[in-house]
Amino acid sequence: MTFLLPVLVAACVPHLTSPTDTGEDVFCVDTPPLDYHWPCEPPPEELEAEGVGDGQVPPDFRMVDQFGDTVALWQFYGLVVVLDISTMWCGPCQQLAGDVEPMWQDYRDRGFVYVTILAQDLLDGEPPDVAELASWAEYYGITAPILSDGEGWSPPITGDDGFPRVMVLGTDMRIVEDEVIPTEDATIRAIVEPLLVRPVPG
């Protein structure tokens, strides 16, 4: 499956619908299945969603990943998180996807996770299904979490600014940078590296 499209603009303008509010409380599975792939630690009970600006705690979500497992944002409390909101049809998003795996491999043992949220599929503008998530992961060689925004979590974050939208969260789940310009891998790394609290392995 080919995802590369002749899109040379700096960002892609979205056509989005209103999000839905599930009203669920945050949770973390105590005994995830053996094939569960991502860190899963319960956040502090006092953690509350505040917003999507610098210094705020973003709302939690429940999304399905490329393995069909349900993932919550707040299960990554205690890690540095790059949150990449993209679409499958967006040219700059496709370019960004090529940088995901090297960053994930370089930092994953230092308390880091790179989370890609795909808001729309390649053809219909609908949230991608598990097969499409898996195809994206295979095409770009990504072993980090890739999620489908089936609950409409991302529209209030991306707004009219287009895709991709990249945010960096600190270990306390607060947003350190609410809108990173993802033109170069080095731009994201320069924000992430000072936040890492675990030493370089070896």
35-81 pLDDT, tens digit per residue, is 567 888 889 999 999 998 999 999 999 999 999 999 999 999 999 99
- pLDDT tops 60 at residue 163: yes
Region for residue 159 given its phi and psi (left: phi exceeds 0; alpha: psi -120 to 50; beta: otherwise): left
Q: What does the mean pLDDT of the chain come to? A: 82
Confidence of residue 28 (pLDDT cuts 50, 70, 90): low
| pLDDT at 29 (0 to 100) | 52
pTM for the full predicted model: 0.83
**What is the pLDDT at residue 10?**
37
126 band by pLDDT with thresholds 50, 70 and 90: very high
Span 164-201, pLDDT tens digits: 999 999 999 999 998 887 767 889 999 999 999 888 87
Q: Residue 35 carries which side chain, given as an amino acid letter?
A: D
More confident position, 191 or 154 = 191
Buried b or exposed e, range 103-114, using 16+ CB within 10 angstroms = bbeebbebbbbb
pLDDT for residue 36:
60
